[in-house]
Structure 1
């Protein structure tokens, strides 16, 4: 029997290469695990559905998880409308209404209805009208009833807001003290209302306020009957992006404290739609800007010069009658008057043959007698002279004979 054969060289090579590959892969895995660390990263995904059109969607979800009844809608809808979507929404005595956008869209009857509801125990939260390109000084019926007056834009340093916070409830003060060292509290005191449109008191006596008469107020809570009205310089901290900030969340909780869990919170997030012209000016300048520049360049190219307009240059005269007169004068000047006479006499005889063939066929006195009978108002002597060629250089006879032939031809 034969002895068992050793491993083949090809098998040995494959085994060594496989072992080497395992070692290399193991080294790469060890290097990767040693130099890299697994971390979590949050990516803001595009909003869809209601979260895209409702800036108060995060506040709505937070209130729902807290066990608070909440409703969101685009319009206030205090008054009954024509369609199903515009039906009026009744407000209970202990409800809370947050008007997120410009309060200038509230009409006088709506403002009166809101204040009547506040007197019965409701809680209203509004902001000052934002400064814009248009309708800056539009009156606000709600602010007039509350005896408040909006001011201009806040141009002071944001740090000046620190220490100006007015008195708050004991619970809110304790909560603020627990986060006093947090960066969110610093932003709440110094930067939360930076650049917002403040307001001043025109007779109102707020229960709680933030600010002073000199620099203006950014927050005021006005007691009316059994309810209250909160007026703020801005409500952007209630936006879904800003509500993640602890300072914004804390302030939102303080605002909703009066009727917390006592009634329904109504979030009105689209009380105003910007006008078409404001939208075009603010957000479509990349389209109308180049078009306006192109129009100005086109007008510059079409404009020849500055100054008063010059009279139009005289155009070249191309009248056919003027050419004929000039040709006749040239021929007459160079001794070709007989050609002009022959042309006038031939034109008269040609029309005579068409109108009176009998007279055209005759010659001499018989023809003259027929023509004298036909043209009784023309003396026979003029007719006889017109049919005879004039003498050379007799200008008077030439003009008379030509005029007579033209007159006789036109009367045929």
Structure 2
């Protein structure tokens, strides 16, 4: 019965109608995280090295062409470095839209971001005007881009437009500046992995790289902001070195093994005579509160005091007052020193012993 039930269920499931749908979701591996991977490999045919950067890094004299997303140019520090590099012969290619690595080429358009004032100032200094969707929405399409006397068939569309002074607005503008060149492309999809093989996109990339008169490295910046870890690694190491030095000095100051050497054979303080007496007195104090030590001393003082009082004719006088006058001590202290059975603590024992020694010295 169980087998018949399973057979019926399998027949019912296999008899159901279904529709198979294929949906393109994008590349895998490195191409998924680096939209400029195909362009970078295309540029490996040139003499210079190809640099793939995850965040902002200023170009150097060894760099010839630099591809940078416009959102990265967010402050005047970056733009000043680029201006100096362009003046010395570098070629900067700025990609306005679809330029960030996190943009998915198989989803909708990325969110619109405001152009940074520092970026607009850089373009204005080169004679280029950018109309951005936040300023004026212009759905600009282009099937042809003219550059360096040649025409390239492209598929470009952007809500931003760029133009030279008194020129026609479009998706592409390039101008010489100093010894170098500044190029703006509003549709960055032309050089991304998915579209670089279409039309003349690769040929346009080749023309932009060949436009500079200097040979050098080619850089592609993928990120949209300065990396915190890159900033710390660049600027925090002097602080860390200072903290390490201060830590070593603190250790040298506070740990004995980092300080001066002690004597190898120091004299033990426990071998001193006074410490032997102190240890003996402590033992007697714990044994019977020093009554055994004070008894013989008191007996000797009483014997000598009585003999002296008889010789001086004061046998019938107050004996404690006689000793007090003789030792220049108060009668109460003399009485406590001779009559108190056991001192209450070590401090009273010390004072009692001192008084008895003084009396014994006077009666000697």
Give TM-score scaled by structure 2 length: 0.45
Higher strand share goes to which structure?
2
Give TM-score scaled by structure 1 length: 0.40
